[in-house]
Structure 1
Amino acid sequence: MKTLDRRRRWSLLTAGTLALLLLTAAGVTALFQLGLPMASGDNDSTHVYHDADGDWLPYQVHVPPQYDGSTPLPVMMALHGCAMTGFGWNSMERTTQFDALADREGFIVVYPSQRPFASAINCWNSGDPENQQRGSGEPALLAGIAGEVVETYGADASRVHVSGASSGAGTAVILGATYPDVFATVTSVAGGEYGLNRVDPENPDDTPPVETARQAWAQMADRQRLVPLLVIQGGQDEVVPELVGGRLVEQWSAVADLIDDGLLNSSLELTSETTSTPAHDGRHAFERTVYTTADGGTLIEHYLVPAMAHAWPGPEGEGEYTDQAGPDASEIAWGFAEQHSLFG
């Protein structure tokens, strides 16, 4: 009888210990993914967006000192990459240092964060077809956050921009295709084309960028618009190789061609010009190629940093995926975004 009691107590103790460990692991994971209140500054507010189906996403908003609620300010949404968060530890907030730039330039920054356990390493699920469509999955949630920020903070709905790193860059491009009526520009840092999951990495030529361009164009439907795109790519990136960034430029050019007259016939007459910046003072060399339309409007800017690996470049960046010797991606992204709105 005593042996049976000891076994029962041991079973209860073991079960209780296991439950405690699981709860602790869940709590630590949630804190990692959601960040801590103490990580917020005076001008930061943490929110949770809920849609009509009960899905949700946490996000943090940073407002600049210029914000008074009476003047509509532009918005930059920044999407983190894998093994990162929107805010808190190893976050997009600290990687980009957008807050300091926003304080100087006068725009609102939004940092969505992936939901706990929605991805094994906290990626955005940009390779999942369910998350590549309007009205469902992560695109719908992120567009919903954009709308909520515009309403809550009285922001300028015509100047909502999205930028992303790695898987966040892939999702940013998806938003450009699925919600071109919401996001004025897209910035992709170390990211790929819409529908990249359909491309065999061993035989990428089997699925040319014009094929995935047709899929992106189809998503735009009657909302189609020339969405300006900024691409920043590292030449030493082994996670998202240089080829992938080049394909994104090709795809977006083809999408623009289709928008022009429904055909892949180069009717848009894009021209390109490349300038080179040499290495200096410990900073990487890079090339910048600008693609413009016949009327002189900038459609695509492509920065190639040959010495950079898988990172968000910038001299002030903090975190695991930064390259302080690279060009300032945050400055470049905002400089690109502020030239555009939904109306031109």
Structure 2
Amino acid sequence: MGPSHPPFRFTKGRSLVRGIRRRVAAAAGTLALTAGLVAMGPQASAAGLTQLTGFGTNPGNLSMYAYAPDALPSGAPLVIALHGCTQSASDYYAHSGWPKFADRYGFALVFPQTSSANNANSCFNWFEPGDSSRGRGEALSIRQMVDKAVSQYGSDSRQVYVTGLSAGGGMTANLLAAYPDVFAGGAIDSGLPAYCATTVSAAYTCMYSPPDRTPAQWGDLVRSAAPAGTSSWPRVAIWQGSADTTVRPANAAELRDQWTDVWGIGQTPSRTESLGGGTTLTAYDDTSGRPAVEVYSVAGMAHGLAVDPGSGTEQCGASGTYYLDTICSSYHTVRFWGLDGHDQGTGALPAPTGLTVTGTTGTTAALSWNAVPDAASYTVYRDGTKVGTTGSTAYSDTGLTAGTTYNYTVAAVDAAGAPGAVSAAVTASTTGFTPTCHTASNYDHTVAGRAHQSGGQTYANGSDEPMGLWNTFTGHTLEQTGPGYYVVADSGCPA
């Protein structure tokens, strides 16, 4: 979205409607400019970007720009990155940090671009069914770009991912719902639940006060948009600033409800983790122990994409309008998707059995498992990310945070270097946890990952103690007594 108003759709041959909508959009744009919100991005011409044409019938009237590192090998992943309102492909390329990780880890990037010919504010039309449904409009144009890039760069069609900011985030959610057979994962940055709106007026509602649907109701919107019989779903990262007044933080909670329901894993977090930039990560694991949905809440961040300019391993991007200096969201999304080099499990060896936690300290977790015949080595995953390789059936993970819970799996690797099936997960909790107290509204507790809501009611994570209505007016004190475990402590918090 970018500015504080949703996009307005224009189509050729509808001059009267177009004229009316241009006047409405101009008025809304004046209000946004008065608030200092709108900053027009340059057209796509930055060095390193290449415009590709001939990618299909292009019913959505989009432009395709791409970036591929030198000597990109065949079979590399592909990432589709969707800009926000008033932005462009080159603007997103220059600020988001994605090219840095494409170079480092070896994958191709596609930056679809819309224009004022489609929308007064150059927004993707996430709220228009004719543009955001499977096989229609802009959604189909982006699907055709995927086919073009897979052919052009030899990308692995099993490793295609999509991310987007604001209106691009809303479109990302819709694409994940409409094309779960195309996208292995997605990242929705300051965006909306899939199919939250199907009209302009509903778009305003979703942005400022999203409907409080049940997880099943949100999930049904995804299931009805996907091909019949879909049983495999993309892994979804959700990024949201707690001070966002354009796309309210409640959208992140509804997105969480939507995608955890689709995965069938419930809304109780598997763990929470504090990251840099005032960011809290809340993870929801699938039955194998891999994170299926992750929510990143950035304290104090307004509407935009989280970046962290610098040359460090975990830094990326350039700050600017709607590019906010907090934390590098692209880096953490890369890790969540496994594009940082963790193996995809393509080998034929069976999953190791008997994975056990043999001991923990404040900073380490020791593991052991049964040997797999013909295994040349074993790869160990912590919270779905590769952390080490060993030739034995034991491994000690180091550098951990005290009083924190981690999930581990392991895969056997054959002589050709291909990892096999991943084992069942085990949980290890490091020692030395220090209880803490947190007093806040029920709404803020859920955003911070200390509680969850269902049907408009709030419950403490871990203990599931009832906390009353999910809103900003009802509040409690919660004591964290263990990793991911909170109890109501209104009568006094010992910590």
TM-score, structure 2 normalization: 0.55
| C-alpha distance in structure 2 between counterparts of 1:160 and 1:128, whole Å | 24
Inter-CA distance 299–86: structure 2 relative to 1 (3 Å threshold): same
Superposed, 1:160-171 pairs within 5 Å as: 160-171=160-171
Q: Partner of 2:323 in structure 1?
A: 322
Q: 2:280 aligns with which of 264, 279, 287?
A: 287
Shift, 1:276, TM fit: 2.0
Q: Secondary structure at the match of 1:307?
A: coil
Higher relative contact order (CA 8 A, sep 6+): 1
Which digits, 9 at most, give the CA deviation of each residue in 1:78-135, with x for residues without a partner?
A: 0001111112xxx111121211221111111111101441011011100112223111
Cα distance in 1 between the residues matched to 2:114 and 2:149: 17
Residue-by-residue CA offset, 1:8-41 (whole Å, 9 max, x unaligned): xxxxxxxxxxxxxxxxxxxxxxxx788254x232
The answer on whether the counterparts of 1:177 and 1:216 sit within 8 Å (CA) in structure 2 is yes
CA shift for structure 1 position 65:
2.5
1:74 matched residue in structure 2: 77
C-alpha spacing 1:210/1:341, structure 2 compared with 1 (3 Å): farther
Q: 2:64 aligns with which of 59, 62, 76?
A: 59
Q: How far is 1:307 from its partner?
A: 1.1
- Offset of residue 213 of structure 1: 1.8
Mapped contact 1:76–1:163 kept (Cα < 8 A): yes
> Equivalent residue for 2:274?
276
Q: Alignment partner of 1:99: what SS?
A: helix
Report the Cα offset of residue 156 of structure 1. Answer: 1.1
2:217 is aligned, of 198, 204, 211, to 211
Match of 1:312 in 2: 305
Tell me, yes or no, if structure 1 residue 249 matches structure 2 residue 256.
yes
Q: How does 1:1-344 map to 2 (within 5 A)?
A: 35-37=43-45, 39-41=46-48, 44-52=49-57, 56-67=61-72, 71-87=74-90, 91-197=91-197, 200-201=205-206, 204-205=210-211, 207-220=213-226, 221-257=228-264, 271-277=269-275, 284-316=277-309, 317-318=317-318, 319-324=320-325, 326-337=326-337, 338=339
- Does the Cα contact within 8 Å between 2:66 and 2:108 map onto a contact in 1? yes
For residues 217 and 55 of structure 2, the distance between their equivalents in structure 1, rounded to whole angstroms, comes to: 35
| Cα separation, partners in 2 of 1:333 and 1:118, compared to 1, 3 Å | same
Distance 1:165 1:342, change over 3 A: farther
Q: State the 1:331 CA deviation.
A: 0.6
CA distance in 2, matches of 1:175, 1:208: 21
| 1:97–1:49 Cα change, 3 Å | farther
Q: 2:274 corresponds to which letter in structure 1?
A: S
Measure the CA separation in 2 of the matches of 1:224 and 1:159. 17
Tell me, in whole angstroms, the C-alpha distance in 2 between the residues paired with 1:341 and 1:118. Answer: 38
Distance (Å, rounded) in 2 between the aligned partners of 1:165 and 1:269: 24
- C-alpha separation between the residues in 2 aligned to 1:34 and 1:143? 25
Matches of 2:252 and 2:41, distance apart in 1: 28
Structure 1 residue matching 2:270: 3-state secondary structure: strand
8 Å Cα contact 2:277-2:298 kept in structure 1:
yes
SS in 2 for 1:130: helix
In structure 1, list runs of 5 or more residues that go unmatched: 1-31, 258-265, 278-282
Contact 2:59-2:136 at 8 Å conserved across structures: no
Q: CA offset at residue 139 of structure 1?
A: 1.1
**Structure 2 gaps, min length 5:** 1-39, 310-316, 347-420, 422-495
CA offset at residue 335 of structure 1? 1.3
**Structure 2 counterpart of 1:77, which letter?**
I
SS of match in other structure, 1:222 = coil
RMSD, aligned CA: 2.6
Asked whether the 8 Å contact 2:307–2:329 carries over to 1, the reply is yes
